[in-house]
Each structure stands twice: as C-alpha cells, then as structure tokens.
Chains A and B, each alone.
Chain A
Amino acid sequence: MSHYEASIREPLVLGDKSYHDITEDIAKPIEGKANKNWYIAFYISLAAMLWGFGCIFYTVGTGIGVWGLNKNIGWAWDITNFVWWVGIGHAGTLISAVLLLFRQKWRMAINRSAEAMTIFAVFQAGLFPIIHMGRPWNGYWVMPIPNQFGSLWVNFNSPLLWDVFAISTYLSVSLVFWWTGLLPDFAMIRDRAVKPFQKKIYALLSFGWSGRAKDWQRFEEVSLVLAGLATPLVLSVHTIVSMDFATSINPGWHSTIFPPYFVAGAIFSGFAMVQTLLGIMRKVTNMEDYITRMHIEYMNIVIILTGGIVAVAYATEFFIAWYTGSPYENYTYLSVGAATGPYAWAFYSLLFFNILTPQILWFKKIRRSFIWSFIISIFINIGMWFERFDIIAIVLSKGHLPSTWWRFEPTFVDVGIFIGTIGFFFVLFLLYARTFPVIAQAEVKTILKSSGEFYKKRLAQGIPTKPTIVIAEKKIIEVDSSDKNIKE
C-alpha cells in the first residue's frame, strides 16, 4: 500500500527508531529497577493514602457528623471530589475511544496512560458514593437483588441509582477496553522476560496472545466496537453525574445545559490531568521521543477547545439566570450570590483558573512549552475542583428559604479523605508505571513508518522506504546528508 501522508504533518515518533528500539524503550522501566525518586514519591503517596484511609475509618466508625456538612449543605467535599475524580477519568476514554473514532494517530503514545488514569480515577470516585452514606454497610441495597423483604426493590427514578449503574458500567468497560489493548504488550514483556517468575506473571496477564493475523483482525474489530460503545458511554456517564444536580429544582442546579457542559468540563479537566502526568512521565521514563512537543500541543488544543465550550456554558448559565427573571437565580449566579457572597473567592478562583489562565494557550509558544503546559494543567485541575465546589456548595448555601441559608466549613476529615484519594491515585499510578507498558508499543509500531521522523525525512528526500525493515541496527543510513544517495 502506497503511503500518502502530507508533508506538513509533524512526526509522531522522533529519532531514527526501529521496531526493536520501541520495544526496548517501553520495556526498560519494567525490566529495570526503581530509583530513589520513585521510592520517595511512592512513600509520600502511600502515607497520604493511609492517612486518607484512617479518615475514612474514622468517618464510618464515628458518623458523617465528623465532616463539615450541616443540615442544609448535605453535599460538599464528598460529592465535589466524586465529580472531580469522575471528570478526570473521562479524558482516558476520550483519548482511547473518541480519538480512535476520529483516527487521530497521536493518541497512540498517550492512550495507555490515559486509560490507566481513567481506571485509577474512577476507583477514587467510586469511594465517595459509599463513604458519604450514613450507613455504608447497607450500601448493597442499591442493587436490584431479589431479597427476603418481599422482594423490596430500588426506585429507578433516582439519578443516584443511575450513578451506580453508570459508574460500575464505566469502570468495567474501561477495564476491558484497557486490558484488551494490553494483551500484545504483555505478550511482548512475557517474551522478553528472563526471570521465570516475571515470565509466569506476564504469561498470565497476556492470556496467551500469539499475534496471529486472525487475532489481530479480531483485535482491531473489537477495539473499534468498544470505542464505538465507550464514546456514548463516556458521554452518558458524566451526563448522569450531572443529572444528580440538574434533575433537582434548586436554582443553580436545575439547568438543562448541565449534561453536555459537565461532559465538556470532564474532558477539560481530564486532559489537564493527562498533561500533568505525562509531563512528568515522559521525563522520568525517558519517553521523550514518543510523547513529543506535538502531543503536548495537541492536548493543549483539546484543552482550549473544551475550555472554550465550558466558558460558553458559563456564559449561557449567567445569561439565562438573568433571562429567567427569577430572583432565586440571582443568589446563585453573578448578580448577588456567587460573585459577592461569602464564597466569592471560590467563584473568582474558578474564573481565574478555568477561564482566564487557559487562554494563554492560544499562543503557540506557550502551547508547545512543557513547563507552561504543566503549570496550566495544574491550574485547570484546581479550577475544575472549584467549579464542582461552587456548583454544589454555593447553591446549597443559599436555597429558596433565607432561614435555611448556611455556610459550609470543611473539617480535617473532609480534607484528609481528599488527600487520601490523591495519595491512593498516585500509589496506583506509580505501581502501574513500573509494571505496565506505559505506551502501547503495538500501536506505536503501526505508525512508525508513516509518522516516524526518520521515515518522513526519507520520504521527503524521495528515498523509497519500503525495504527499510532491515534497518534493525542503528545509524546505517544518514538521513540528514544533503545528497539523496543511500550510504551504506
């Protein structure tokens, strides 16, 4: 098959990599030993996680009253963190599913880690619906299971029940999608393993993948079908999360734009988190040739786009709040509530972190700068946390009846659990980075000859690239030489 990639497309794999180089680069962190920095990061995360678990046990053992909630503000940090973590998870599915449907080759270097991030983030999110229950030991009652109470069932009208189905389906489908993609990569690690124990483990994980043509054909079909299913899933999951609020009658919550706006916000914050993680990972695992400046730039473009959608949604919310003529809406949005009330600082933080600062990504220099992308990505995650906090806490703090107006102050347990989930997340992610192939080598190998820097240069120089499978040893061919002859 002839190849027709436009010359103005940037290469996706830098350097003159061979297939073997890709394998080596990706297997290295798994086959090597962890360094001191990894252990430092791991132990810090572990400590945070254990602290968080302590706070969770304390909450469950003592009662929800140890949190800062009160009888008017029944949801605050718990659900804020829940929505925040679910939102972060969405970028993983977006990268692996939506970008696959749109045939974006640049996703190949980032999809593995983005999906891992999804799964670990959904773990964290999944904690909150359980621990924020007053009686978490009765949590299994949300399942429609035939029982001895005369088959007492759940009411399917509650978005909180939809959440149960949404999140559990989302986690299972993401896990299957991720694992399917891992099979050829685990097989690669298995085939390289020298230690018998390691070989055994990866043989188990890779399900006997042998990479025959029929297997690959089915593999591709399954990926496509799963991507087609995961795309509506990712939209519906955060839609259902948004309906926890939008189906209510609270001014500031009851808004029809919530479904797509939450989804856009989820992609926005999720991409920011991918940016944060990959910004570090590309350095510490030496993946600079795979996660390039261009990947960072493309992610930033997605961030600007979704950030723009979110900004339009904010503007719409403000506009319609005025447009309704309802005085209650004013307590929630700009005119008297959010912008001037006791939570004004949270409101302005949201505007600053979410709308204002990401705008500098319009400048190409900043978009392509690692350090700026890193800073902005952290800003966005702070901003998106505030977005959820503002939606939840500000609205609940000023309801219809002025005698119910109250404020929310978090306790150390609220904060401790949140820190704990961050620790837990990083524990999982750090373990993942040491044991899993962080880049889908099988996928990157499919684009090496069409989008690798080396091959693109040869193509530009008019040198046929067909027989170049032989270049297993490096530096046989010097690409940059001015004459077009192949030097051997």
Chain B
Amino acid sequence: MYQFSGKLKIFSLALIIVGALGIAFSFYSGSQLTVESAKEIIANQSHGDSHGSAVEGTHSTTKEHDTSGSHTSDGNIDKEMSAHGAHGDDSHAEHVLHQLQNRPWSAFYVALFFFLGTTLLVLAFYASQRVAQSGWSIVLFRVMEAITANIVPVSILMLVFIGLTVGHFNHIFPWMAEGTFDPSSENYDAIVDGKSWWMNVPGWAIRSVVYLLLWNLYRWFIRKNSIAEDTANDGFKTYKKNYNASVIFLFIFMITESMMSWDWIMGLDPHWFSTLFGWYVLATLLVSALTVIAFVTIYLRSKGALPQVNDSHIHDLAKFMFGFSVFWTYLWFAQFMLIWYADIPEETTYFLARFNEYKLPFLGMVVMNFVFPVLLLLNSDFKSIPWFVIIGGIVILAGHYVDVFIMVMPATVGGQWFFGIPEISALLFFLGIFIYTVFSAFSKANAVPTGNPFLEESAHFHYYNIEHRGEGSADH
C-alpha cells in the first residue's frame, strides 16, 4: 500500500494556500479597478505599437461583413464589435475596464477548466481501456482511478463558478449581460437573441449541472466497483458490470463533452461557431490527460508504489502522447485552415483576434504541441526513458494550457492579457488540489487491481523492442 508522504502533503497544501492567496489578491486588486485606471492603461498602451492596429484590423473586417455579409438583411449587426467603431472614449474605457475586471475570473476559469477537462479525459480514457479490454494498461488502472478523484473537488469549484456566473458576479459570458435579450435595451443583441433557445441562463445552468452530475456518477460507481472487483471472485460478474457501465459512460461522454464545450467555451464568443469545436477541445484535453497519467505513473513508480509497471508501459503511454499530439494538430489545423481558406467574416474574426493580439502564444502553442513532441517522441528508445517523457510532457502540458488560455482569454479580457499573478496562482491552487486528492486517493486502495481478468497480461506486458532497464529479465 502506498503511503501519501507527509512532505508531499505539506507541499500540496502549500500550493493550495499560496494559490488561494494569489487568487484572493488578484480579485482584490481587480475590485480596486475604476474607469480611471482603465483610461490610464489605454493611454499607456497607445504608446505601444500593436494594440491599436490590431483592433483596427478586427474592425475593418467586421464592417466589411456588415455591408456585404449575410446579416444585413435581418439587421443583425455585431453589436459589440461595431460599437468599437462609433464609441467615444468613455465607452472604450468602460469596455477595457470590463476586460480588466474579467482577468482574475478568466485566469481562475482557465485553470479550472484545464484541470476539470484533463481529469474528465483521464476518466474517459480509463473507460475506453475497460471497453477495449486492453491487456497492457490494467496495472495503471489504480493510477487512473486516483487521478479521476480530482473530478470531485474541481466539479464542486465548477459548481461554485457556475453559481457565481449565473448570479452576475462576473462578465465572463457576454451573452449573460443585462438586456442582451431585451429589444428595448441598448445592450440588445439580435444574433444572440436568435439563439435564446440554447443560450439562456436557466438552460445553461441546468445543462452544466447535469454534465457534472453524470460524470461524477460514473466516477463514483466505477471506483467503488473497481475496488469490489479485487475481491469479488464471482466469475467476472463485477467485471462485466463495470464493462457495461463504461460503455454507457462513453456513450454519454461523447454527447456531453461536445455540449460542454459549446456551453463552457464556445459560448464565450457567442457570435462565433465551429462544428469541429467539441472534438477539438476533446483532443486538447485528451493529450493533457495522457500526459498526466504518464507523469503520475512515473512518479509513483519511482517511489516503488507500482511494482508491476515496466518500461513498456511507459513506452505505450508515450506513444499515446505522441499519437494524440499529432491528432490534436490535425484538428487544430483542420479548423484553422478551413476558416482561413473560406474566409467568411463571421468566422474569421475569431482567429483574427487571436492572431493579432495573441501571436506569440498562438503560434508558440503549435510548436509546443506539435513540433516538439514529434521530434522528441518519435524515437522508440526515447519513449521508454522516464525523464525524457517528463521533458516532453512538461512542454505538452504547458502547450495545452496555452491552448485553453487562447480559447478563453481573447473572448473575456481581449488585449488586456498577461501571464502574471492571477494565472500563476490559479494554476498553483489547482495543482495543489490535484496532488492532494490524487495521492490520497491512491493511498486508499490496493495499487494492483487484483480481480481484473487481464491483470496477468498487463503485468507481463512487454513491447518487443523495449529493453527494461534495471529489472529482472524473467519475462523477456
């Protein structure tokens, strides 16, 4: 049985406390902002070179769209965008103030979504391993189960976040602003109003809660029954029950994942849409999930807690990291290229804003998520060397954090982004929670799922060209 070491516990608690303090500080300084401070920032930025021209770029296309595009007929004008064109200084300053006020919320939300999504995808990967009757990954089941324990605290925090968002404590979702659906209001947005069958606060909140409930339900069920499997000895009855539950979960997951990404991420840009979006979010979270599994496995193995995990298992995980990094790139490119190629204004604005104001992270993420893993993890020998996988994995995780960052930030804080105290402290906070829940969950159950019918296959799993360093050669 693994012992959750006191050192690690203190470390994780320290992360939580430091993170929480940083978050509190970010919110405090956010609440101190006024229109005056926004004006000051605008004045400072106009000295800089990029911001003004970037916004200008966005406008010109928006206008072109308004005159030639499809929305002129029904008078749907992109309110927020065209408002820029006609605004006076005050409304601009107010807009920037909203963006500044959004920043601590967005920083928290990016980290929250990144950890929630990654944990969820570990759960989905775990379910897929059960359904596929895979023979290699059984000895990693308890690791994956432990990681999914994180879904409970992050779901609770997500619920809190949903509650606060619905209660208008933030401006993260522009369509939730007052008057969006009221034709007499100056905030009225005809495009969003046309989507009110989907974009309405009660519907959004209910759907969000349902997703979280369904995922947590499966996680609770499978963890309980996976442990029951160890001692069941009932002719694989429990095993089959778990198999069926996993099939049902994957079915539900496939649907809820898409809807979740429309609700929680695509809804941040209520005028924009992309059919691929749900699967693109899936890919980014899946790569992160596989990397996290590899990290926790390598750490626990180094502590001697996973006696049956050998280099071939690491190799397989790294292969998955490599393969799905390429898959992510495929989807990223498909979405980007198709929108760039057709250049339909209401879609292009999405990438225009990101390309102009987030150039470095936008392009940097492609390097981190594609070029780096492809070069690093192509070699078969490298894939079984733990420290090599760790190096590759750190870049992959950072790259996919940036991906989530770029999905969220341009919609909420626009040009006012920065990677500073709010972002870092939110990351530390969730990392602390992750470490605490994961390792305490791992210490609570047998590290080897003894009742699984494929355990022997997994324990003796050996990929043909992997030499197991520093291990007995009994199974070669």
Question: Which A residues fall within an 8 A CB radius of B?
Answer: 1-2, 4-9, 101, 220, 232, 235-236, 239, 243, 246-249, 254-260, 308-309, 312-313, 315-317, 319-320, 322-328
Chain B: residues with Cβ within 8 Å of the partner, total of 46
Which single member of A4, A232, A308, A324 contacts B251 (CB below 8 Å)? Answer: A308
Q: How far apart are the CA atoms of A325 and B454 in the complex, in Å?
A: 50
Cβ of B453 and Cβ of A232 under 8 Å apart? no
Which single member of B191, B277, B344 contacts A325 (CB below 8 Å)? Answer: B191
* Residues of the B chain whose Cβ atoms lie less than 8 Å from the Cβ of A255: 275-276, 338
* Residues of the B chain whose Cβ atoms lie less than 8 Å from the Cβ of A101: 323
Q: Shortest Cβ distance from B459 into chain A, in angstroms?
A: 8
Cβ of A2 and Cβ of B460 under 8 Å apart? yes
Cβ of B70 and Cβ of A328 under 8 Å apart? yes
Q: How far apart are the CA atoms of A255 and B341 in the complex, in Å?
A: 12
Cβ of A254 and Cβ of B344 under 8 Å apart? yes
Cβ of B457 and Cβ of A316 under 8 Å apart? no
Which single member of B276, B344, B454 contacts A6 (CB below 8 Å)? Answer: B454
Q: A249-B344, A256-B338, A325-B76 are contacts. A8–B236 as well, Cβ < 8 Å?
A: yes
* Residues of the B chain whose Cβ atoms lie less than 8 Å from the Cβ of A309: 254
0 or 1 for each of B169-194: is its CB under 8 Å from A? (1 = yes): 00000000000000000000001001
Cβ of B275 and Cβ of A312 under 8 Å apart? no
Which single member of A239, A260, A316, A323 contacts B198 (CB below 8 Å)? Answer: A323
State which residues 258-285 of B face A: CB under 8 Å. 258, 262, 273-279
* Residues of the A chain whose Cβ atoms lie less than 8 Å from the Cβ of B456: 4, 6
Residue B367 CB within 8 A of the other chain: no
Given contacts A1-B476, A255-B275, could you give 15 more A-B pairs where the C-beta distance is less than 8 Å?
A: A8-B236, A9-B133, A239-B334, A243-B338, A254-B342, A255-B276, A256-B274, A259-B330, A259-B334, A260-B276, A308-B254, A309-B254, A320-B273, A323-B198, A326-B70
CB<8 Å pairs between A and B, sample of 25 = A4-B456, A5-B457, A6-B453, A6-B454, A6-B456, A7-B453, A9-B133, A232-B326, A232-B330, A249-B344, A254-B338, A254-B344, A255-B275, A256-B274, A256-B334, A258-B275, A258-B338, A259-B331, A308-B254, A312-B258, A316-B275, A319-B262, A323-B273, A325-B76, A325-B191
Interface centre among A236, A325, A326 (most CB of B within 10 A): A325
* Residues of the B chain whose Cβ atoms lie less than 8 Å from the Cβ of A254: 338, 342, 344
* Residues of the A chain whose Cβ atoms lie less than 8 Å from the Cβ of B262: 319, 323
Q: Shortest Cβ distance from B456 into chain A, in angstroms?
A: 4
* Residues of the A chain whose Cβ atoms lie less than 8 Å from the Cβ of B236: 8
* Residues of the A chain whose Cβ atoms lie less than 8 Å from the Cβ of B213: none
* Residues of the A chain whose Cβ atoms lie less than 8 Å from the Cβ of B457: 4-6
Q: In the complex, which residue of chain B has the Cβ closest to the Cβ of A243?
A: B338
Residue B433 CB within 8 A of the other chain: no
Q: In the complex, which residue of chain B has the Cβ closest to the Cβ of A316?
A: B275
Q: In the complex, which residue of chain B has the Cβ closest to the Cβ of A320?
A: B275
Q: A7-B453, A247-B342, A325-B191 are contacts. A257–B276 as well, Cβ < 8 Å?
A: yes
State which residues 322-367 of B face A: CB under 8 Å. 323, 326, 330-331, 334-335, 337-339, 341-342, 344, 346
Cβ of B460 and Cβ of A323 under 8 Å apart? no
Question: Which B residues fall within an 8 A CB radius of A?
Answer: 70, 73-74, 76, 133, 135, 191, 194-195, 197-198, 236, 251, 254-255, 258, 262, 273-279, 323, 326, 330-331, 334-335, 337-339, 341-342, 344, 346, 453-454, 456-457, 459-460, 464, 475-476
Interface SS of A by simple majority? helix
Q: How far apart are the CA atoms of A150 and B274 in the complex, in Å?
A: 42
Q: How far apart are the CA atoms of A8 and B331 in the complex, in Å?
A: 37
Q: How far apart are the CA atoms of A235 and B341 in the complex, in Å?
A: 20
Cβ of B338 and Cβ of A323 under 8 Å apart? no
Q: In the complex, which residue of chain A has the Cβ closest to the Cβ of B278?
A: A316
Interface centre among A5, A248, A324 (most CB of B within 10 A): A324
Q: Shortest Cβ distance from B187 into chain A, in angstroms?
A: 18
Q: Shortest Cβ distance from B269 into chain A, in angstroms?
A: 12
Q: How far apart are the CA atoms of A239 and B457 in the complex, in Å?
A: 36
* Residues of the B chain whose Cβ atoms lie less than 8 Å from the Cβ of A312: 254-255, 258
Cβ of A8 and Cβ of B254 under 8 Å apart? no
Return the 6 tightest CB-CB contacts between A and B, nearest first.
A257-B275, A256-B276, A259-B334, A325-B194, A4-B456, A247-B341
Q: How far apart are the CA atoms of A258 and B279 in the complex, in Å?
A: 12
Q: How far apart are the CA atoms of A308 and B278 in the complex, in Å?
A: 15
Q: How far apart are the CA atoms of A180 and B299 in the complex, in Å?
A: 42
* Residues of the B chain whose Cβ atoms lie less than 8 Å from the Cβ of A315: 255
* Residues of the A chain whose Cβ atoms lie less than 8 Å from the Cβ of B453: 6-8
Q: Shortest Cβ distance from A290 into chain B, in angstroms?
A: 21
Q: A6-B454, A325-B76, A325-B195 are contacts. A235–B330 as well, Cβ < 8 Å?
A: yes
* Residues of the A chain whose Cβ atoms lie less than 8 Å from the Cβ of B135: 6
Q: How far apart are the CA atoms of A255 and B275 in the complex, in Å?
A: 6
Cβ of A249 and Cβ of B276 under 8 Å apart? no
Q: How far apart are the CA atoms of A247 and B343 in the complex, in Å?
A: 9
Q: Shortest Cβ distance from B252 into chain A, in angstroms?
A: 11
